[in-house]
Structures are given as structure tokens and as C-alpha cells.
Structure 1
Amino acid sequence: MNQSAKRYSPLQVALIGGAIATTATASVFGPAWTRCVRAALQDSPKAIVDQVWQLVNREYVDGKFNQQDWQATRQSLLSKNYASREEAYVAIREALKILGDPYTRFMDPKQYEALTSQTSGEVSGIGIRMELNEKTKRLTVVEAIENSPALRAGIKAGDEILAINGKSTQEMKVDDASKLIRGKAGTMLTLRLGRSGQSAFDLKLTRATIEVPTVRYTVKQEGNRRVGYIRLREFSSHAADQMRRAIRDLNSQQVNAYVLDLRGNPGGLLQASIEIARMWLDQGGIVRTVDRVGGTEDTKANRTALTNLPLAVLVDGNSASASEILTGALKDNKRAVVVGSQTFGKALVQSVHELSDGSGLAVTIAHYYTPKGTDINHKGITPDITLDLTEAQERQLASNPNLIGTQNDPQYAKAISALSNTNFAQPPATQPTGAMSSSARDLKF
């Protein structure tokens, strides 16, 4: 039974060109038994249990369910009584374990809300990045985000957050402070700030919905080259627009080459990776997905690249999923030289559903392959130039992020060196550039 109260959640996906069916599959039991079950499930924790079972039964990529009797699992789940939703959640998670797929997972309402916030690329708050300063042990502003209440109010990097709505932040963790600062757009917040050379002062702010910057870029002068350095942290719903603005701005600054840094990028929305691939590729395949019945979809470039300048891509063991789609497309089409460490190796696509009580379910619905047909699952992508950082180098970059994307960053330095090699530096052919397609398709990795 499928009782989803919000069938068309923004994260619900379209697969193979059409919307996911939202009607329940036919029951394997008799109609009288089904009517009885429906009556019993109404407004009970079992409603969520059965909703999860139905979604997995209909969509899961492995129609044999890891050689498990999925019908028997349903009977077992519905034969139990659940005193609370929490008990039902435990039963759901145990049932999903038998699939042997860590990416098909249940999320309670708070976990689902966190995921939707992450993939939407938006937060409701005041728009600051903060850290616990190692020397002072105080919560300190790292950055006030562009177009945010914090920036408009004059909050600066280095400001210390002494109290949040009158609550002292002494010995407070960053996560706990974030929970206090975030809240519904339009509500008020008071911060007590410490600033060098001034007495502590209170600042009132109104929370707002803020687009989180996931793309950061700059021009770097490397010898006689002007290099456009772009770091992409995740593939949120705003990532493609931010990437488009970055490339166009760097083009206007007359860069000679690009470095695209995907290190530490865990993935995100499939459509974002496709759109971004099309900004670098004029022709060639991007990704092929295969569903549970062997149905395939090949996604290709569409002659809308924004640049054909030489490109290097940086990856590491935490570059996963959508990062690997983009990297695989650029590597297989010989559009870029890939530098760094072996990538994570996640070649599975999930659809994400909001359930009737605000919880959520991610279901693996397809397997993907690179344009050359390579299966990277559990293997990852091998860079064209493999360069693993030593533990000392990793510690140095982690303790001083300003060194990332400089000549003190060994992988970046190797990418700059590689860009001087015309075998790597130039795309297969010079192609005309154009505008990007804005077609939307929310597939989650």
C-alpha cells in the first residue's frame, strides 16, 4: 500500500524520461485480506512500514532483492505491532539490511530534512560559515556568505560569536551553534559579537533562505598562464547555475586554462552533473544508466560547451558518485587530464521519496556506466596521473586550507604541470560554444 501524502516531493525523481509511477503494486494476497490490511494500517506506524516495502518492491534495481524473499519480508513486517513510529523505523532499517545495499536507506524526519537541505543547496539562517578557533577556543566567523543577512549586517571574518539569543557559546560545539542560528525565514536572532579593537556588541538579524555557495573560483597566475581554478564541493540544485556563472566570469577574465577541483566532493544530483558536463563537453557521451529490467538511457553532450580551453580535473578517494560521472565523462572523451588519487567507486543511482510522516527513503534504482562502458562500482576511476598525498601533506592542507589550489598543494601543482602537455591539454576538436539547456531531472546519488 502506498499512502504517500506528498507524492510529488521536489526530490522525487524522473527515470528514463518519465515520472515514477505512484500507484501501489498489486497485492500478492487476496483482495479481502488487502482491504483488511488497509484498514488496519490507516494512521498507524505500519503505514510507513508498508509504504517503504512498496517503494522498494517497485523500484529497487535488483529485482531478486539480493536473493531474499521480499514478499515474506512484508508478511513479517506487517505481522508485528509497533507501539511507536520509532519502533517501526527500527524494523524498516533491519528489513533494508537484507538487501546488502547501504545506499537504499531509511531516514527519520530530521535526517530527511537534512538531506533535502543539502541537495536543495539552500539553508534558512543568517548566512555565515564558522569554526572553533584552535587558539582562542571561541566560535569564530570564517565568512559571511554573499547576499546574506550576515553580510548585509556587517558581520566580518574573524568576528567571535560570544552568545546566541543570550546563550553563551563558551565550550559550545559548531554543530550546536548552527542549530541555534538556523531557523524559519523571517524570524529574529540576536548575536553577541566580539571584534578586535571594539567592545562586545549585540546584533539583531532576521533569518532568510540563503543559497549556499558550492562553487568557488579564482584566477591564478601560473608562469605565463592565467588559470581559472574552480572548486566544486557538491552537486546541489544550484551547482549548475553557480558553475555556469563561474566559467563565464573566468572566460571574461581571459584565462588560458582551467583546473576543476572535485576532491572531497561526495556527489549529489544527477542532473547537476549532466548539466555541468555539458558546460565542458560539446560532443560525446556523458553517462549510461541501466535499470532493474535492463532498460538503458544514454545521456550525451549537446554542443553547448561554454569553453574549449585546456582542462585538468583533481580527484581523490572522497570524489564519489556524481563527481565520478563528471570525471568519467571528461576522461573518456579525452576532454581533460585527471590528476590525483583513485576515486571512491559508487556507480549507483538513488531516487529519494518523502514519506507520509515526513520521513524519507532513498532507493537504488539504477546502475551507471561511463561513456566507454566502464563499471566503476567498488573500483573507482583511475586518474591519468596518479599522485597520492602523504599523511603529512594531507595534514598540512587540512590545517591550512589556504594552501589548497596553490603550488604548495602537490596535486594542484601536478595538474598545472600536466596542462603544459598538449596531449592532455586540448579537447579532441575545437567546437562552437553556446547556451546551456535548463532541463530538470532530480536524480540523487
Structure 2
Amino acid sequence: MRSTLQKIGLLTAGLLAGIFVSLNFSASAGKDAAVSALPIEELRSFADVYGAIKQGYVEPVDDKTLITYAISGMLANLDPHSAYLDAEAFKEMQVTTQGEFGGLGLEVGMEDGLVKVISPIEDTPAYKAGLKPGDLIIKLDDMLVKGLTLTDAVKKMRGKPKTQIRLTVFRKGEPKPFEVTLTREKIKVQSVKSKSLEGGYGYLRITQFQDETNADVARHLEKLVKDEKDGLKGLVLDLRNDPGGLLTSAIGVSAAFLPPKTLVTSTEGRTEDAKRRFTASPEDYLRGTKDDYMKNLPALVKTLPMVVLVNGGSASASEIVAGALQDHKRAIIMGTQTFGKGSVQTVLPLSNNTAIKLTTARYYTPSGRSIQAKGITPDIVVEETANGEAHDRLREADLERHLENDKDKSADVKTESKLDKPENKPHAKNGKKNKTDEEDDVARAPIEFASKDDYQLSQAVNLLKALQILKR
């Protein structure tokens, strides 16, 4: 038995060495960086494990599956955002950035082998069902999530519209898991919404940064300016619960409000192409089109008083925009601390229509601040309700294996959930709710943004009114 394993191990070592040499060569082609020597001892240990699985695992496993699992494991253990994308996942990622896909409408990650909700996308089945950031999905129908890769779990949640899936969810602060049945829909995310507010103020909301976001922002801004006959007095840019998206879209949105050529963000990584400076310029925000949709914006947009609303669900591209407008003193940032995703993911296509999503750099604001594991601190802190935050927030610093903030080591502190300590909250006996429980339920209810109950928006408008009075 041992002799057989050793033979398989040696054969596998040769196979793997060939594979890694091939991968190393293709990844390094055209670059000046020297190829580091292969770690022979570590590869031999890898081959021993590989051979043991091939020889002795209770059921046969084919080579393709084992190699795929090995690649997935390497990436998944680097940080929460690096991942292996098989052909289907790669295709779905491309579709998602275009703003249309079939499924539940969840931004998810992995923690301790379970699917963790990062953020439900607004106006989707997951959002309407009340799923919240930090929820852990432990079963999909009757299938345990433990043991699945994130890609496999996402595949299971995706599906044809009008089909159903039952999720078993564990939520901190709840005594036991609960089930929720969702009906899949064709998720077509309208990334930009706007409306005129009372008193001559405008409201612009971005729910996700997609291919068409820049063009949509330009169109909505033109309409807001045109609809106010007495002149638009101020603007609220709402980035709450926006999980991010395309970097080019973040630069384009920033360019709508900043002077041309203004620095929006910079990136730093190990390779030369990961060290970049991105400015409010068409060459940095246009994607495959010669039509600059920002050039015809009304001049008023560049000087209009602005408040940007953010919260713990504002991540990545949202934080880039908020950081740029804050550093250039173009807008007042209001709300609560943002998510803190300040890392760049590069999608590297492989053979057979697969790809890897690899973290290759960190983002920095124009003044050089790192967003990573810290986020953007608002100029004016305003909680989601008059009584505080409506529900617990998951942030980058809470995720396992997250990158540290290389500029501010004090930022790399795991946040403590107020809902982690249910013993501190008084409860009525016999399972009946007391007044405190009922008030807490109301406080945890999802906020309908831009409604009459939107406390943060009302405070943003009040601030714009105060600025108008001071201007006079």
C-alpha cells in the first residue's frame, strides 16, 4: 500500500511540476519579473497528499476535480475576495457586471465553510425577504453548505426565474436558525435612481457600479437640473448599501462632480501594472466607447452643494467615490463608517473559459489614505435611525483573512456587534415580548431609502438647507 502511494506520489509530483511550470510560464510571459524557483519539498508533500487521495479515498475522484479543488483552496485561503471561477461562475460574473442575472440578489462571501451575506441587493427577493448583512446560510434546500465551495453555493442559489429555494439561516442574536423560502427572479439591477425633493433639492442613488452606471448618472443629473425651474439648490448622493462594482464606473461618477484631470484614486501592488493613478479623465472611465457622456453635463453639477450618504454597506467603488469627494472637499460625507474594502481584484482568464479573481493591489484616496479594513469615516456621523443603527453591520475587518491596512494599523480591529450579546437585553417571561423587544424589532426593520421615514436623508436635506442659509 505504502509503496503504491509513493509511486503515485512520484508520478503526481512530476505531473504537478509540469503544470506549475506551465502556469508560471504563461503567467509571466511578456513580463520582466524573474520566475522564482519551484518549492520542490512543498510540491512533494502536495503530491503525497494527492496520491493518498487518489489511492485511498472512499470514492474515486478524477484528476480534474482534485486540481480544481486545489486551485480553489489556494485562492480561498489568501483573502475573502480571491477566488477560482469555473466556466459558469466566470460567465455569471461577466453577466452580473452588466446588471442582469437570474437568482436571489445576494452579495455573499464564505466564513467557516458557510455562506455569509455581505449585502442583499435592493429590490430583489433576498432584500424583500429581510435577509441582512452578517446572516449565515447553513442549508440550501436540504443540502448542507458546509463542504461546498462558494462557487458551488452560488450555483445552487442561481436558477431559472419563478423557481423556489429554501434557505436555512443563522442570525446572531436569534435563539435558533430559521427558514425562508425565496422565489428566484430575473435580477435586473437598476443601478441609478433619482427624484426631486421638496425645496428644490435633488436625490441621486447608486445601488451598484455597473457598465451603464456612468451614462445613467449623467442622464439622471441632466434631468434633475432640468426639472427644477428655479434652479437645483443642492444634491444628496446616496451610496448606502452599495457593494461596489466596476472601478471605471467609480471614476466616472467622481468625474461628474470633480474638475477634469483631478486625482480620484491610486493603487499600489507588487507588479508595475498594479501601480496606477486614476483621474477624472475619459481615458480612465470610458469602457469601449468613444461617447463621453460626462462632457455635456450642466456646469452647475461641478459646484452644486452636496451631501454623500454612506453606511456599513457602502463598499469598494462606493468608498472610492466618497473618499475622492471628501479629500477634495467637494462634498460633505454623512452617515456611518463604511465597509472598508480597499483591495483591487484582477480577473485573470485561464484556459477552458475559466478564470481566477486575484487580489493584486490596495486602493488609496487622493490624500493617500488606505480604505482597507477601515473604510471612510463620515464628516458628520448620523445613525440610521434617531435611536441608532437599524441592524448589525458586517465589515471588512470582521472577515477572516482580510488584508491589513498598511497605512493605519489601528484600523485592523474586528468590530464588535451590539447584537452579539443578547444576554444584555431584557426579555419578558413566557416568550411574550415586552416593550423593549417591540422597540428593538422596529429598530431592526429594513430602512426604505428615500421614504418619509429615512432619517439620514432628512438630516442630509436639513444640512443642505443650512448651507443655503449660510450662503445667503
TM-score bracket for this pair, using the shorter chain length: 0.5 to 0.7
The offset of 1:404, in angstroms, is 1.6
In 2, distance between residues paired with 1:327 and 1:378?
16
- Structure 1 residues 120 and 171, CA, compared in 2 at 3 Å: closer, same or farther? closer
**Letter paired with 2:195:** T
Q: Is the 8 A contact 1:316 1:340 kept in 2?
A: yes
Deviations 1:88-117 (A, max 9, x none): 22211322355x422222133343333222
Q: Which residue of 2 aligns with 1:274?
A: 251
Q: Which residue of 2 aligns with 1:377?
A: 372
In 1, distance between residues paired with 2:308 and 2:376?
12
- Structure 1 residues 84 and 270, CA, compared in 2 at 3 Å: closer, same or farther? same
Please report the TM-score for the alignment, with normalisation by the length of structure 2: 0.56
Q: Which residue of 2 aligns with 1:138?
A: none
- Structure 1 residues 83 and 424, CA, compared in 2 at 3 Å: closer, same or farther? farther
Say which of 193, 208, 214 aligns to 2:191.
214
Alignment of 1:44-83 (within 5 A): 80=50, 83=62
Q: Which residue of 2 aligns with 1:90?
A: 69
In 2, distance between residues paired with 1:418 and 1:50?
60
In 2, distance between residues paired with 1:84 and 1:425?
70
- Structure 1 residues 319 and 400, CA, compared in 2 at 3 Å: closer, same or farther? closer
In 1, distance between residues paired with 2:446 and 2:204?
18
Q: Is the 8 A contact 1:277 1:329 kept in 2?
A: yes
Q: Is the 8 A contact 1:50 1:78 kept in 2?
A: no
Q: Is the 8 A contact 2:266 2:364 kept in 1?
A: yes
Q: Is the 8 A contact 2:165 2:182 kept in 1?
A: no
Q: Which residue of 1 aligns with 2:89?
A: 111
In 1, distance between residues paired with 2:209 and 2:233?
25
Q: Is the 8 A contact 1:328 1:370 kept in 2?
A: yes
The offset of 1:355, in angstroms, is 2.9
Most deviating of 210-219 and 305-314: 210-219
Q: Is the 8 A contact 1:349 1:365 kept in 2?
A: yes
The offset of 1:357, in angstroms, is 3.1
Say which of 240, 248, 270 aligns to 2:214.
240
In 1, distance between residues paired with 2:470 and 2:95?
37
Q: Which residue of 2 aligns with 1:152?
A: none
Say which of 335, 344, 347 aligns to 1:349.
344
Say which of 203, 220, 230 aligns to 1:229.
203
Q: Is the 8 A contact 2:125 2:184 kept in 1?
A: no
The answer to whether structure 1 residue 417 and structure 2 residue 458 are counterparts is no
- Structure 1 residues 267 and 71, CA, compared in 2 at 3 Å: closer, same or farther? farther
**Letter paired with 2:66:** E
The answer to whether structure 1 residue 300 and structure 2 residue 279 are counterparts is yes
Q: Is the 8 A contact 2:72 2:84 kept in 1?
A: yes
In 1, distance between residues paired with 2:321 and 2:340?
13
Say which of 167, 171, 184 aligns to 1:177.
184
Q: Is the 8 A contact 2:340 2:373 kept in 1?
A: yes
The offset of 1:71, in angstroms, is 7.5
Runs of 4+ displaced beyond 6 Å: 49-59, 69-72, 167-174, 423-426
The offset of 1:418, in angstroms, is 1.7
The offset of 1:360, in angstroms, is 2.7
Most deviating of 72-81 and 260-269: 72-81
List gaps (5 residues or longer) in structure 1.
1-35, 135-163, 183-209, 427-445
Q: Which residue of 1 aligns with 2:361?
A: 366
| Higher-RCO chain (CA-CA 8 Å, sequence separation at least 6) | 1
Q: Which residue of 2 aligns with 1:256?
A: 233
**Letter paired with 1:107:** L
Most deviating of 303-312 and 316-325: 303-312
Deviations 1:210-262 (A, max 9, x none): 964211111111xxx22221111111111111111111111111232111111
In 1, distance between residues paired with 2:278 and 2:92?
29
List gaps (5 residues or longer) in structure 2.
1-10, 52-60, 104-122, 130-159, 168-179, 282-293, 392-440
Deviations 1:264-306 (A, max 9, x none): 1111111110011101111532111122147732222349565
Q: Is the 8 A contact 2:165 2:183 kept in 1?
A: no
In 2, distance between residues paired with 1:64 and 1:346?
30
Say which of 296, 305, 323 aligns to 2:318.
323
In 1, distance between residues paired with 2:362 and 2:322?
17
In 2, distance between residues paired with 1:348 and 1:170?
33
Matched residue SS, 2:353? coil
Q: Which residue of 2 aligns with 1:206?
A: none
Q: Which has the higher helix share?
A: 2
In 2, distance between residues paired with 1:312 and 1:237?
25
> What fraction of aligned residue pairs are identical, expressed as a percent?
28
Q: Which residue of 1 aligns with 2:266?
A: 288
The offset of 1:56, in angstroms, is 7.6
Q: Is the 8 A contact 1:336 1:424 kept in 2?
A: no
- Count, aligned residues: 318
Matched residue SS, 2:200? strand
Matched residue SS, 1:331? helix
Q: Note the aligned Cα RMSD (angstroms).
A: 4.5
Q: Is the 8 A contact 2:201 2:233 kept in 1?
A: yes
Matched residue SS, 1:357? helix
Say which of 95, 98, 101 aligns to 2:79.
101
The offset of 1:406, in angstroms, is 3.5
Please report the TM-score for the alignment, with normalisation by the length of structure 1: 0.59
**Letter paired with 2:184:** A
In 2, distance between residues paired with 1:89 and 1:364?
19
**Letter paired with 1:116:** Q
In 2, distance between residues paired with 1:214 and 1:286?
21
Matched residue SS, 2:184? helix
